[in-house]
Structure 1
Amino acid sequence: MVYHIEELSNKNATDWKRVNEESKEGDFFHKLEWKRILEQSLNFKSHCFLLYRNDEPVALCPFYESSINGVRGLVSLPDSDYNHIIVTDQYDPLIAYHILEKCNEIARENKLSFILITTLRESIKDYFSKYNPLPYPIGGNMMLDLEKSGPDSIWSEVLSQRDRKHIRRFEKDGFKIKEINSIDHIKMFYKYYKANLESIDAAPHSFSHFEDLLRTYSSTEMILTLLYNNKIIAGGQLAFLHYPKKTVYLRYLSLNRDLPNRYRPTTYMRWNWIRRASEMGYSKICFGRTPPDPNDIHYQLKEKFGCHFEKEHSFIFPRSYLFKIGYNIYYTIYNFTKKYISR
């Protein structure tokens, strides 16, 4: 078997698209349009490549320069709900070897301090583990399978009486969901999106990022909504639509934090997307990245809709001795803090 690597280009873009569409692991965030968003809108420098075996692509490797605590490294798909490499043959250990060799070459040429690789497959995890990576916290997403539980069963068997009451309250008080695509409406959405993140000391994306999204994606690929009545805006939600995998991805929650406590806009907007996704013929909804802790409040709020946690496996390979020492100290503190808080 002969292996070779090609950097992603116009010449092999069709191979990238085909593998993403045909692979079980393919998704919205591995599409080339998202690559342009990461590069142009979020200013990530890309190093994407394909691994071929006998002229057939066997791995898609979407890597970008990103930082951990101010230290730059090579990271697979940063700022994305799904950030894994795609491997078509889970039984070939040489694939991991060739990917890591290419990543080391990129890191050396660009003076990067670490390599962070993520996979969804247990077998691929085992192949990378042989190269002695440092431990990395488990990550993943909460996913709802509408083929196992449709809106009717979720309403009657999964949602609590209290959640159903909160949903009915919006309907009783005249709230509606409206699709938006004008700049003025997006400014309203952004106002509450920005305030919501700042209230939890998180950094919001710039308004220009949402303008870029609007220019990049059609109404069949992205929908922005506002929840409102005649008097107030309760919040909003952005959804990416990936029909080849019949999956909806919920991102960029916009919330009016000044609403009375009697309202739970997040509950209503999520329920709206459960009904809507089912009506549109979608079978899965990704509720976004979530800590893998069943005691975490965000985990619990998504689990109450019937979501299950999809685990990913990440590996960090140090490229410098100083980074290795610093990271080990950081990881030790992280684990200690996690155990202390969980008590």
Structure 2
Amino acid sequence: MAFSVELLSEDNAYRWEEFNNRSHEGTPFHTLRWKNLLEEVFRLRLRYYLIFEDREVVGICPFVGRSIGLFQGLNSIPHSEFNNVILDDSFDPGCLDEVLSLFAEKYSFLLFNIYSTGGMDRIKHNNFVIEQTGNMVLNLKEHPPETIWSTFSRNMRYNIDIFEKRGFTIQEAHQPSDIKIFYHHYKENLTHIKGDILPFSFFQKLLELFPDEVRIATLTNGDVFAAGWLTLASPDRDTAYYQYLALNRDLPNRYTPTYPVYWDLVNWAWDNGYEKLSFGRQKLEPNNPRFKGKAKFGAEYVPIYTRLIPLSKSVHLAYWLKRKLSGVQTDHSPAAGQTSGAE
């Protein structure tokens, strides 16, 4: 077998799309439309690579170029809930080192996400654990709406039903004025929790590039806005992706609008035939209110593994010293599968 990597081009773009479409890990965030969204809105220097075994595509790697001083490297694409490297089921994890060496010809480091732990365990290259995070995913085949409802406490059901009793209804937003109201409260909510706010142009472009896959819904009573949420879902996929939440922070504390939001997401995904619903990226913090809220609706934590792979001795030494000086554990072993520390 012979491995090679190719930078995405007009000549091989169709092969990228074909691989993403057939892979069980493929997502809208791996499509070339999403790449165009990131490039046009954020002017990013994206570097998308295909991995070939002989002449068959066995992996796709969405990266963004990153420079640290004189060192050139690749990082995971930002603003994307699913930005992981995707490998074919036939790919032998023991060959990852061979593939990494191909990137070493041009880059000094790689930072990427992957779902499979088996691949990481087989890497002989020095590597550092960067972050412990994952996605909260609901398996609707195992937890249909009626099963989830039966697990709710009386208080949970009250917090969902109170909105309907007070005259709130859920409607899909299509008019530009409705989208602007959604964005206004999205921005206020992110400001309140000190989150990263995406520009309005991002949502405009998202609606333009994914017209049949974006659903924006709002919970309102006349002019009173309680919440809004955006779902990205392809009719030919089995997973729906809940993405962006807008909240009216001026509502009285007796209201918990995230509960009817989640309940609508569950029922909408179920009614439209989706097998899974992703509630988005989340750190493994069982006591975190957002983690607990999603778990109440049946979502389970699916870990994603983030690794920094130094491809040059200079980067390895520099990063090791940085972690050492900052007090982060930096124990290192040259044996296969060992990492140089964990945060």
Same fold (TM over 0.5): yes
The DSSP-based 3-state class of the residue aligned with 1:132 is coil
In the alignment, the residues of structure 2 paired with residue 329 and residue 249 of structure 1 have an alpha-carbon distance, to the nearest angstrom, of: 39
Identical pairs, percent:
35
The DSSP-based 3-state class of the residue aligned with 1:262 is coil
In the alignment, the residues of structure 2 paired with residue 238 and residue 87 of structure 1 have an alpha-carbon distance, to the nearest angstrom, of: 28
In the alignment, the residues of structure 1 paired with residue 218 and residue 80 of structure 2 have an alpha-carbon distance, to the nearest angstrom, of: 23
Write the letter of the residue equivalent to 1:119: I
Equivalent pair of 2:29/2:82 in contact (CA under 8 Å): yes
Q: How does 1:141-160 map to 2 (within 5 A)?
A: 141-156=135-150, 158-160=151-153
Equivalent pair of 1:90/1:121 in contact (CA under 8 Å): no
**How many residues are matched?**
324
Write the letter of the residue equivalent to 2:35: K
The DSSP-based 3-state class of the residue aligned with 2:194 is coil
Residue deviations 1:269-307, cap 9 Å, x none?
110111111111111110001111222222111100111
Write the letter of the residue equivalent to 1:8: L
Equivalent pair of 2:4/2:102 in contact (CA under 8 Å): no
Give how far 1:179 is off. 1.3
Matched, 1:293 2:281: no
Provide closer, same or farther for how the CA distance between residues 330 and 86 of structure 1 changes in structure 2, counting only shifts above 3 A.
farther
Equivalent pair of 1:239/1:251 in contact (CA under 8 Å): yes
In the alignment, the residues of structure 1 paired with residue 220 and residue 248 of structure 2 have an alpha-carbon distance, to the nearest angstrom, of: 10
Which structure 1 segments of 5+ residues have no match? 109-113, 334-343
Residue deviations 1:157-180, cap 9 Å, x none?
x22221111110011111111211
Q: How does 1:227-266 map to 2 (within 5 A)?
A: 227-266=219-258
Provide closer, same or farther for how the CA distance between residues 331 and 92 of structure 1 changes in structure 2, counting only shifts above 3 A.
farther
The DSSP-based 3-state class of the residue aligned with 2:252 is coil
Write the letter of the residue equivalent to 1:274: V
Q: 2:318 aligns with which of 309, 322, 326?
A: 322
Equivalent pair of 1:189/1:226 in contact (CA under 8 Å): yes
Equivalent pair of 1:74/1:103 in contact (CA under 8 Å): no
In the alignment, the residues of structure 2 paired with residue 328 and residue 84 of structure 1 have an alpha-carbon distance, to the nearest angstrom, of: 28
- What residue number does 1:140 align with? 134
- What residue number does 2:52 align with? 52
Higher mean Cα deviation, 174-183 or 47-56?
174-183
Equivalent pair of 2:136/2:302 in contact (CA under 8 Å): yes
Residue deviations 1:1-60, cap 9 Å, x none?
122222112222222122112222111211111111121112321111111112110111
Provide closer, same or farther for how the CA distance between residues 124 and 3 of structure 1 changes in structure 2, counting only shifts above 3 A.
same
The DSSP-based 3-state class of the residue aligned with 1:62 is strand
Higher mean Cα deviation, 3-12 or 266-275?
3-12
RMSD: 2.2
- What residue number does 1:212 align with? 205
Write the letter of the residue equivalent to 1:217: F
Q: How does 1:66-145 map to 2 (within 5 A)?
A: 73-89=73-89, 92-93=92-93, 95-108=95-108, 114-128=109-123, 130-145=124-139
Equivalent pair of 1:238/1:251 in contact (CA under 8 Å): yes
Write the letter of the residue equivalent to 2:277: I
Provide closer, same or farther for how the CA distance between residues 94 and 10 of structure 1 changes in structure 2, counting only shifts above 3 A.
farther
Residue deviations 1:39-97, cap 9 Å, x none?
111232111111111211011111113589xx985212322111211111465246412
Matched, 1:164 2:160: no
Provide closer, same or farther for how the CA distance between residues 155 and 187 of structure 1 changes in structure 2, counting only shifts above 3 A.
same
In the alignment, the residues of structure 1 paired with residue 88 and residue 327 of structure 2 have an alpha-carbon distance, to the nearest angstrom, of: 32
Q: 2:303 aligns with which of 276, 299, 311?
A: 311
Write the letter of the residue equivalent to 1:232: V
In the alignment, the residues of structure 1 paired with residue 37 and residue 322 of structure 2 have an alpha-carbon distance, to the nearest angstrom, of: 31
The DSSP-based 3-state class of the residue aligned with 1:37 is helix
- TM-score normalised to the size of structure 2? 0.88
Write the letter of the residue equivalent to 2:64: Y
The DSSP-based 3-state class of the residue aligned with 2:273 is coil
Write the letter of the residue equivalent to 1:32: L
Give how far 1:243 is off. 3.2
Write the letter of the residue equivalent to 1:42: F
Provide closer, same or farther for how the CA distance between residues 86 and 42 of structure 1 changes in structure 2, counting only shifts above 3 A.
same
Equivalent pair of 1:176/1:227 in contact (CA under 8 Å): yes
